């Protein structure tokens, strides 16, 4: 029996883990211990995902959130290490690019426990992003690198991984598995929503920690909401605080953060997606919606090449112009970019091997 310690802590990881954990529960010869760091800790950002997605209650629940990146990662590293010493897993499984990801990978590597990284090989080539640092370092200490795309495999090959004693495997994207699995269960958020709406998300630190970038994006969203189409914005608590701190005003349809099933409904029913999220760029594509990405780089370059996504940075005019061009436009996955919904099965197959 192989014992896997899975480390999660943030919304995207709950979604990714839900499909992999489901396959693990149906597979003989493998046992999963689930550790939740507490990085996303309020009900809307954490508990609701476990309830909606049927993820087992975590075996280990830490309560680590807030503070600087270094402080948070250090506290996680210490407590995850203690959990590993107590449970003695055969392998550590981490997802994505958060502080929880890096802490779990480092704890495993220092205890000489093999580390598997789901969503390995993604690169924005922007070292100002904490996520870029997390994903690069996590890849360096992992021996099973589960890549979601051919581009991710090529990134690792360019960094010399083809000559290291590791396995680089293109398994597809578990986020597509989740979107396909849960689409039929999607449910409308509570409350009235405007017709013909644009779905927006805004939380990336490169935007929210810069008063200039934040103001430029808010100016664009306000103008779009007034002149083009209503903008529905589920607002992260941290972003809400920063908007108030800088004396900015959002004149859009604001709602609280949502569970995954409500987000899927919004993606399925919107006319366009405006985002600075990594995962939402792909989720828009899974639902056939064009996406305007308010960042300077993206890890999902294949969406740019396919014409499904346009990068506009935090430039007010570019955001508005791109919205005019893409509003209501449908996109199609003609080349099966993300594995067709079988990524979780491939991950568990290789974990057993």
Which residues are bridge partners to 118 per DSSP? Answer: 95, 146
The single residue of 36, 40, 117, 203 carrying the catalytic annotation is 203
203 belongs to the catalytic site: yes
d(CA 345, CA 176): 12
Q: Are 284 and 290 in contact (CB under 8 A)?
A: yes
φ, ψ dihedrals at 129, nearest 5°? -85, 125
Which residues are bridge partners to 60 per DSSP? Answer: 35
What contacts 310, CB < 8 A, 6 or more positions away? 290, 291, 292, 293, 304, 322, 325, 326
Q: Is 28 left (phi over 0), alpha (psi -120 to 50) or beta?
A: beta
For tokens 């013909």, the residue is: 196
d(CA 17, CA 307): 29
Q: What is the DSSP string of 197-258?
A: PEEE----HHHHT-HHHHHHHHHHHHHHHHHT--EEEE--HHHHHHHHHTT----SEEE---
Strand, coil or helix: 91: strand
Q: Are 115 and 144 in contact (CB under 8 A)?
A: yes
d(CA 117, CA 167): 11
On the 0-12 / 13-18 / 19+ scale of CB atoms within 10 A, 183 is middle
What contacts 241, CB < 8 A, 6 or more positions away? none
d(CA 128, CA 211): 16
Q: What is the CA radius of gyration of the chain?
A: 20
Parallel/antiparallel/unpaired status of strands 253-255 and 231-234: parallel
Positions marked active-site: 203
């Amino acid at each position: 029996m192989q014992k896997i310690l899975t480390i999660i802590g943030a919304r995207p990881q709950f979604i990714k883990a839900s499909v992999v954990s489901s396959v693990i529960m149906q597979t003989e010869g493998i046992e999963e211990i689930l550790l939740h760091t507490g990085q996303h800790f309020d009900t809307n950002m954490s508990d609701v995902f476990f309830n909606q997605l049927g993820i087992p209650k975590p075996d280990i629940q830490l309560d680590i959130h807030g503070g600087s990146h270094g402080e948070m990662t250090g506290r996680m590293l210490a407590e995850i290490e203690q959990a590993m010493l107590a449970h003695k897993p055969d392998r550590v499984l981490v997802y994505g690019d958060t502080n929880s990801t890096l802490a779990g990978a480092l704890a495993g590597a220092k205890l000489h426990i093999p580390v598997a990284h789901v969503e390995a090989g993604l690169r924005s080539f922007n070292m100002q992003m904490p996520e870029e640092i997390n994903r690069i370092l996590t890849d360096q200490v992992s021996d099973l690198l589960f890549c979601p795309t051919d581009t991710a495999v090529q990134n690792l090959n360019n960094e010399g991984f083809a000559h290291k004693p590791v396995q680089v495997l293109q398994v597809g994207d578990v986020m597509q598995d989740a979107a396909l699995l849960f689409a039929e269960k999607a449910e409308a958020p509570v409350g009235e929503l405007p017709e013909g709406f644009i779905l927006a998300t805004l939380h990336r630190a490169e935007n929210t920690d810069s008063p200039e970038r934040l103001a430029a994006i808010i100016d664009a969203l306000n103008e779009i909401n007034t002149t083009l189409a209503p903008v529905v914005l589920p607002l992260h608590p941290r972003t809400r605080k920063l908007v108030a701190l800088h004396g900015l005003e959002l004149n859009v349809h604001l709602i609280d953060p949502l569970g995954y099933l409500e987000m899927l409904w919004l993606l399925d029913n919107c006319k366009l997606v405006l985002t600075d999220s990594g995962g939402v760029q792909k989720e828009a594509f899974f639902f056939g919606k064009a996406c305007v990405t308010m960042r300077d780089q993206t890890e999902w370059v294949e969406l740019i090449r396919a014409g499904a996504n346009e990068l506009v940075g935090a430039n007010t005019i570019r955001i508005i112009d791109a919205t005019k061009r893409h509003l209501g436009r449908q996109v199609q996955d003609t080349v099966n970019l993300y594995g067709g919904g079988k990524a979780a099965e491939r991950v568990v197959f290789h974990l057993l091997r």
